A and B are shown apart, each in its own frame.
Chain A
Amino acid sequence: MITHLSAAPQTPERVVLLGAHGFIGAALRRLLDNRQIPNLALTSADLDISEVSAAEKLAALLRPGDAAVMLAALTPDKGRDIAALMKNLTMMQNVCAAIGKVGSAHFVYFSSDAVYSASDALVTEETPPSPPDLYGAMHHTREIMARGLSKVPVLVLRPTLIYGLDDTHNSYGPNRFRRAAQKDGRITLFGGGEETRDHIHVDDVAALTLRCLLHRSTGTLNAVTGTSHSFHRVAEIVARQFKTTVEIVKTPRANPVTHRHYAITAAIKAFPDIRFTGLEEGVARVHREMLGKR
């Protein structure tokens, strides 16, 4: 559930992206550039926010009128251990210190749906977080740290599985399926791919974020489409994009089947005309982009 501090859309003075080099950050930066919205895109090469002096350096870069978007995190593919957790928390500690010092106009924290329990099959923003691992616990802790910024309006976005051409994580789903189909002509599923999940295109995440920036939205919002598909269905959609036959391989099931659906009523209430790219359309678009890049 989110609240708009600006009922009518208003362009922020400047958007500062922390973690601009990542998959979502790059998409958001493209969108801001297309809309000619002033932005400062910071990557880890520009400023390592895990460093001791990062808070001061960042505070020197920020202005009170800025909307800061925190995307930087060590993702599970870069470590799921305690060291990764502590480094992620240090990064957030520095960011919160800088934003609190400058008093930014708006702070958007990119969390994750990893804060929810894996056993929650129908999730809304009211579903209590119950992270099953350190990665989820890290995002949940960072959310609490962000909300502790008493003088800064804070929005927490919790994206679900994101797909798009430039994804670097290669997690199980459209991205990995596409690469596997292209490389091996085969998509391998866990079990029969019965689990249902929500997959959102990265451009939709960027567009949703922009809407929130324009309205200075506060609160918590899941960045999801509201439509879930089984991984088997996702594999079929991906396979259909190829001219050659792509084999879909089932494997013995190691873990019980779990499902995840989202009710997107909060997003509809916040943005009644919002539209998400359907999975077939999105996968086809990514495939065309992939062919165009060759």
Chain B
Amino acid sequence: MRVGFAGMTHLGVNSAAAALARGFEVVGYDPDRDAIAGLQRSEPNIVEPGLPEVLQQHAGQARFTVDIADLSACDLVYIASDVPTDDAGASDLSGIRKLIDAVSAVLGQHAMLVVLCQVPPGFTRALALPRERLFYQVETLVFGQAVERAMHPERIILGCADPAATRPRALEEFLSAFACPILPMRYESAELAKIAINCCLVSSLSVANTLAELCESLGAAWSEIVPALRLDRRIGQHAYLAPGLGIAGGNLERDLATVCRFADEHGTDAGVVRAWMANSRHRRDWALNELHARVLSKLKDPVIAVLGLAYKQDTRSTKNSPSLALLAQLGLFRVRVFDPVVPASEAAHPRCHAATSELDACEGADALAIMTPWAQFGRLDPSQIARRLRGRLLLDPYAVLKASACRAAGLDYRTLGLRAGT
């Protein structure tokens, strides 16, 4: 059986890799010649742990192409391009619509079309395609864990015209290969299920951020509270309970914006969603506020070291990155920046030194802010950091370093969810 994926962005490439790993022949289409050439060499232009290895291992099953007609031989074609969003989180669906039209024109007579992109409720049913061959599947990829999650989904949520109908053979064969529960439901339910999942995640994050901030004033330690929550069956081991610098990456923001838009249209209450968004904006500026209180308002021409530019570890995506948001506010000051994947030039900062390493970034700086929790930052020796820094302030919002070791090195260590010095 041959499975096609149209759109070789993050979603499409990782989904195609999972299909390859499950033993299927895959056709990956994208009009971007550079992206396709890279995939033909098993060198994707996105960063995901394990992705190049999977592509390389299964290269014999894969055909990456810029010719959309190559999809005509597929039994099943996924529309798998990422949907861009604007600054307000609103989706631009024009590209997806064009892609669907183009794929529909070459789709085999009996082939299935599955929309895998992030689309709002009502999108799939409105497509002018035969309902019995049209499906919507919820993607739940996570940047930095995309291959793992694509290969081992907890469940498959499938939007159908008739959830009670027998699924087409090719689709059933493909989905069954993932050995997980399949939840058929009407299109709109599946589309909203995706949003519901993200709302639950943001809800947990907002709880973590709200109470972690309170911990910083009350002397409690959020890290001590988290294990208690995880052992509560109503919350769970995998709940999103790590405080952070607001919501980033684009996907969660998109779904919150979609809920607000629909709620406004239909007159339902979305106040809590807007509160999550406000809380996200509030926490995103934690590092700026700390830097201002302790360095920017006190020193003349201070130098700030920033480790990390990506919005999270194990990705090169900088969409709504807290680090870039911070650097955008530090235009007056000299900064020294290092990220293992994202070049410093993406900061577009007028007084930026592109450091060659973490410790090079620290050299002579008055403060260090670790803005992305890359694993390699956690292996830094606090005493080496202290030796390189001119000042003592270390902002480590994601707690990649040990507070005790940093304090032992003489650093003024500050993190989310913990009062300084405790």
A268 near B282 with CB under 8 A, answer no
Q: How far is the CB of A77 from chain B (nearest CB, A)?
A: 33
Asked if B341 CB lies within 8 Å of chain A CBs, one says: no
Does A86 interact with chain B (Cβ within 8 Å)? no
Q: How close is B278's CB to chain A, nearest CB, in angstroms?
A: 7
Distance in angstroms from B324 CB to nearest chain A CB is 14
Q: Is B289 an interface residue (CB 8 A)?
A: yes
B332/A272 in contact, CB under 8 A: yes
A41 within 8 A of B: no
Taking a contact as CB atoms closer than 8 A, the residue among B282, B298, B333 that contacts A272 in the complex is: B333
Q: Size band of the A side of the interface? A: 10 to 19
Decide: A269 near B278, CB < 8 A? Known: A274-B297, A275-B297. no
Contacts of A272 in B (CB 8 A): 292, 296, 329-333
Any chain A CB within 8 A of the CB of B285?
A: yes
Asked if A126 and B278 make an inter-chain contact with CB atoms under 8 angstroms apart, the answer reads yes
Asked if A268 contacts B333 (CB within 8 A), the reply is no
Confirm or deny: A273 has a beta carbon within 8 angstroms of a beta carbon on chain B. Answer: yes
Partner pick for A265 among B278, B285, B297, B331, CB 8 A cutoff: B285
Number of interface residues of B (CB under 8 A): 14
Within 8 Å CB of A126, what residues of B? 278
Q: Assess whether B195 is interfacial by the CB under 8 Å rule.
A: no
Q: How far is the CA of A77 from the CA of B393 in the complex (A)?
A: 46
Cα–Cα distance between A275 and B285 once the two chains are bound (Å): 17
CA distance A249 to B297 in the complex (A): 36
Counted as pairs of residues, one from A and one from B, with CB atoms less than 8 Å apart, the total is: 31
* Residues in A whose Cβ lies below 8 Å from that of B296: 268, 272-273
Q: Assess A265 versus B332: contact at CB under 8 Å? Given A272-B296, A273-B297, A274-B297.
A: no
Min C-beta distance of A2 to chain B, whole Å: 13
Within the assembled complex, what's the spacing in Å between the Cα atoms of A264 and B282? 11
**What is the bound-complex CA distance between A264 and B297, given in angstroms?**
13
A263 within 8 A of B: yes
Chain A residues in 8 Å Cβ range of B289 = 263-265, 268
With a cutoff of 8 Å between Cβ atoms, the chain A residues found around residue B330 in the complex are 272
Judge if B160 is at the interface, Cβ distance under 8 Å.
no
| Contact of A273 with B329 at beta-carbon distance under 8 Å, contacts A265-B285, A265-B289, A268-B292 already known | no
B173 to chain A, nearest CB (A): 52
Bound form: Cα–Cα A265–B326 in Å: 11
Interface string of B32-70 (1 = CB under 8 A from A): 000000000000000000000000000000000000000
Contact with A along B86-112 (1 / 0, CB 8 A): 000000000000000000000000000
**Most B C-beta atoms less than 10 A away, residue of A263, A268, A269:** A268
Residues of B within 8 A of A273 (CB): 296-297, 332
Question: Smallest Cβ distance from B197 to chain A, in angstroms?
Answer: 28
- By beta carbon, the residue of chain A nearest B328 is A269
Question: For the complex, is B389 an interface residue (Cβ under 8 Å from A)?
Answer: no
Q: Is B288 an interface residue (CB 8 A)?
A: yes
Give A253 to B329 CA distance when docked, in angstroms.
44
Contact string against B for A residues 182-193, beta-carbon threshold 8 Å, 1 for contact and 0 otherwise: 000000000000
How many whole Å from B74's CB to the nearest CB in chain A? 49
B246 to chain A, nearest CB (A): 12
Q: How far is the CA of A268 from the CA of B289 in the complex (A)?
A: 8
Tell me the complex Cα distance, A146–B189, Å: 48
Q: How far is the CA of A20 from the CA of B297 in the complex (A)?
A: 30
Most chain B CB neighbours (cut-off 10 Å) among A264, A265, A274, A275: A265
Is the Cβ of A269 less than 8 Å from the Cβ of B329?
A: yes
A residues less than 8 Å from B331 (CB atoms): 272
Please, which residues of chain B bring their CB within 8 A of the CB of A265?
A: 285, 288-289
Q: How far is the CB of A273 from chain B (nearest CB, A)?
A: 6
In the assembly, what is the distance between CA of A108 and CA of B298, in Å?
28
A263 and B329 in contact (CB under 8 A), knowing A268-B288, A269-B288, A273-B297?
Answer: no
Q: Which residues between 136 and 165 of chain A lie within 8 Å of chain B, taking CB atoms?
A: none
Q: How far is the CB of A120 from chain B (nearest CB, A)?
A: 12
For the complex, give the distance between the alpha carbons of A269 and B331 in Å.
10
Interface string of B284-322 (1 = CB under 8 A from A): 010011001000111000000000000000000000000
Cβ < 8 Å to A, chain B residues 258-285: 278, 282, 285
Task: Find chain A residues with CB under 8 A from B329 CB.
Answer: 268-269, 272
Q: Which residues of A contact B285 (CB under 8 A)?
A: 265, 268-269
CB distance from B212 to the nearest CB of A (A): 16
Within the assembled complex, what's the spacing in Å between the Cα atoms of A272 and B296? 7
Distance (whole angstroms) from the CB of B209 to the closest CB of chain A: 14
**How many angstroms from the CA of A126 to the CA of B280 in the assembled complex?**
14
Min CB gap B315→A, angstroms: 26
List B contacts of A124 (CB < 8 A): 282
Residues of A within 8 A of B282 (CB): 124, 263
Q: Which residue of A lies closest to B329 (CB)?
A: A269
A263→B285 CA distance, assembly (Å): 10
How distant is B418 from chain A, measured CB to nearest CB, in Å?
20
With A and B bound together, what is the CA distance between A263 and B289 in angstroms? 9
**Measured between alpha carbons, how far is A126 from B274 in the docked complex, in Å?**
12
* Cα of A263 to Cα of B288 in the assembled complex, Å: 12
Contacts of A274 in B (CB 8 A): 292, 297
Cβ contacts under 8 Å, B298 to chain A? 275
Q: Please report the C-alpha to C-alpha distance between residue A265 and residue B325 in the assembled complex, in whole angstroms.
A: 12
Chain A nearest CB, measured from B71 CB (Å): 47
Complex Cα–Cα for A273 and B299 (A): 9
- For window 251-273 of A, CB contacts with B under 8 Å fall at 263-265, 268-269, 272-273
Given the complex of chains A and B, what is the CA–CA distance between A273 and B329 in angstroms? Answer: 11
Q: Complex Cα distance A265/B284, Å?
A: 10
Cα-based distance from A112 to B187 in the complex (angstroms): 51
Given contacts A269-B285, A272-B329, A272-B331, 18 further A-B contacts (CB under 8 A): A126-B278, A263-B282, A263-B289, A264-B289, A265-B285, A265-B289, A268-B285, A268-B289, A268-B329, A269-B329, A272-B292, A272-B332, A272-B333, A273-B297, A273-B332, A274-B292, A274-B297, A275-B297
Q: Which 5 A-B pairs have the closest CB atoms?
A: A275-B297, A265-B285, A268-B292, A269-B329, A272-B332
B residues sitting closer than 8 Å to A (CB atoms) are 278, 282, 285, 288-289, 292, 296-298, 329-333
**21 A-B contact pairs sorted by A residue (CB < 8 Å):** A126-B278, A263-B282, A264-B289, A265-B289, A268-B285, A268-B288, A268-B289, A268-B296, A268-B329, A269-B288, A269-B329, A272-B292, A272-B296, A272-B329, A272-B330, A272-B331, A273-B296, A273-B297, A273-B332, A274-B292, A275-B298
